[in-house]
């Protein structure tokens, strides 16, 4: 099956189908919103006999823009929707096997919806939990 780097890149590629959204398969030093950043959270080994299943849990942090701008809340709402061109869930799940690299993936939840601080600036953001079975 795929390496962690390949899975991370595949998730970023799927996410890149959202119009106007930048993506990064690694944590950038200075993110430029709107951006979706793919980060490995944890790995569960040996879910089936003979190393037959590894479960990877990724966090996709979606940084939208400055928290003070009203339009950013509407943008964040659209990214969190389950339908529509801006839906992060639909984009990530658009190719659930990452071109045959994994068995399946799913976006399970969005959490931490609200303000975050990056480099002394406050932004609106949300985290999406993506579970990958490989």
Report strand pairing: 35-44 vs 22-24: parallel
pLDDT at residue 2, rounded to an integer: 83
CB contact at 8 A, 14 and 92: yes
Token pair of 74, please?
């509407």
How would you write the pLDDT of the chain (134 residues) with one tens digit per residue?
689 999 999 999 999 999 999 999 998 888 899 999 999 999 999 877 777 799 999 999 999 988 677 888 899 999 999 999 999 999 999 999 999 999 999 999 999 998 998 888 889 999 999 999 99
Q: Taking phi first (over 0 means left), then psi (-120 to 50 degrees means alpha), and beta for anything else, what does residue 118 get?
A: beta
Token pair of 67, please?
């928290």
pTM, whole model, 2 decimals? Answer: 0.92
Q: Which domains does the chain show, CATH number per domain? A: 4-133 (3.30.70.1700)
pLDDT at residue 7, rounded to an integer: 98
- Radius of gyration, CA atoms only, the chain: 15
């Amino acid at each position: 099956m795929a390496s962690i780097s390949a899975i991370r890149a595949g998730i970023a590629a799927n996410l890149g189908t959202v119009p106007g959204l930048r993506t990064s398969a690694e944590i950038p030093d200075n993110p430029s919103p709107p951006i979706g950043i793919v980060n490995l959270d944890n790995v569960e080994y040996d879910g089936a006999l003979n190393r037959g299943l590894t479960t990877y849990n990724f966090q996709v942090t979606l940084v939208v823009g400055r928290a003070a701008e009203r339009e950013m809340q509407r943008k964040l709402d659209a990214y969190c929707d389950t339908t529509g061109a801006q839906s992060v869930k639909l984009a990530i799940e658009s190719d659930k096997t990452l071109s045959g690299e994994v068995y399946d993936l799913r976006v399970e939840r969005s959490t931490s919806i609200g303000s975050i601080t990056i480099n002394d600036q406050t932004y609106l953001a949300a985290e999406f939990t993506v579970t990958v079975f490989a």
